[in-house]
Amino acid sequence: MAAAKTTKGLFVTGTDTGVGKTLVSAALALFLRQRGLDVGVMKPVETGVDNPDALGSDGSLLQWAAASLDEPELISPYRLRAPLAPSLAAELENVRIDCGLLAETANTLASRHDYLIIEGAGGLMVPLAGGVLLADLAKTINFPLLTVCRPSLGTINHTLLTIFAARTMEIPLAGFLINNMPPSPGAAEESAPHTLASLASADLLGVLNHATGTPQEQATALAGQMEKLPSLPWLLAGLGL
């Protein structure tokens, strides 16, 4: 079951773990709320959760950013202890991840809000259950895919492969954001935006600078950066606004 077509939404993925897609997703929720939208958030599977009876750190940050009153079971249906790929973490806890349930949950959240941000786990090729990948879930939900990438060495390969995989699987693309640009970028970081913009078959929606502080402070700072991006029209178009 695909997410409701009447609600705008975004499926956020990363080129790798640790690229800051949770912070970017939270920042986007803040950014959209500041523009008057009622925003829903979803983290379909979160691993590395110390207490699975409550939201994990990612789900909690998204809940805070969206000021969400949705039930934790909708915000993050699967919360697993082991900090591993979802399929392996679920196997260790004798949990079966039901992708049909995840799609139905996305549909429920989409019906409640003006805009829904769904943050995946790791990258597109992360296994969820059996032979099902995160990319399969993204294709089923059918929201445009926003790829969060890093500016450092190796990002050209990772970003182009992610976008290529999405296009091959016919997942709609919103574009990509470069996150965590350092204050004093080296040659690799300085050249990454131009190189990616010229090679990727998707739009560069912005470059976000390194943010410091607590996760909430970082998300707030990134939301402020989004509002001031030279590429703001591109970002708004990528978000479908």
Q: Is 2 contained in some domain?
A: no
> Looking at the chain, which runs of residues are DSSP E strands?
8-14, 39-42, 45-46, 78-79, 115-119, 127-129, 132-133, 145-149, 173-181, 204-209
> How confident is the model at residue 122, as a pLDDT?
86
> How confident is the model at residue 233, as a pLDDT?
96
CB atoms within 10 A of CB 48: 15
Q: Is 3 contained in some domain?
A: no
Q: Is 1 contained in some domain?
A: no
Residue of 177, 239, 174 whose CA lies nearest to 21: 177
Report the pLDDT averaged over residues 222-226. 98
Tokens 């574009």, residue located:
175
More confident position, 184 or 4: 184
Q: Is residue 136 a contact partner of residue 127, using CB atoms and an 8 Å limit? A: no
> How confident is the model at residue 1, as a pLDDT?
42
Q: Is 114 contained in some domain?
A: yes
132-133 and 127-129 strand pairing: antiparallel
pLDDT at 142 over 90: yes
> For residue 6, what pLDDT band results from cuts at 50, 70 and 90?
low
CB atoms within 10 A of CB 111: 13
CATH number at residue 115: 3.40.50.300
pLDDT at 184 over 90: yes
H helices present in the chain, as ranges: 21-34, 57-66, 72-75, 86-92, 99-112, 134-141, 155-168, 187-199, 215-227, 232-238
As given in the structure block, the two tokens for residue 105 are 């949950």
- Residue percentage of the chain with pLDDT more than 90: 94
pLDDT in tens, 63-119: 999 999 999 999 999 999 999 999 999 999 999 999 999 999 999 999 999 999 999
User: Running DSSP on this structure, what letter comes out for residue 220?
Assistant: H
Rounded Cα distance between 148 and 179, Å, is: 7
Residues tagged active-site? 43
> How confident is the model at residue 2, as a pLDDT?
46
Number of domains in the chain: 1
Radius of gyration of the chain (CA): 17
pLDDT in tens, 15-54: 988 899 999 999 999 999 999 999 999 999 999 999 999 9
Report the pLDDT averaged over residues 205-229. 98
Q: Is 172 contained in some domain?
A: yes
Residue 40 bridge partners (DSSP): 116
Residue span of the structural domain in which 151 resides: 8-238
Residue 79 bridge partners (DSSP): 46
Residues 6 or more apart in contact with residue 139 via CB below 8 angstroms? 169, 170, 171
Residue of 64, 24, 52, 47 whose CA lies nearest to 225: 24
CB atoms within 10 A of CB 52: 16
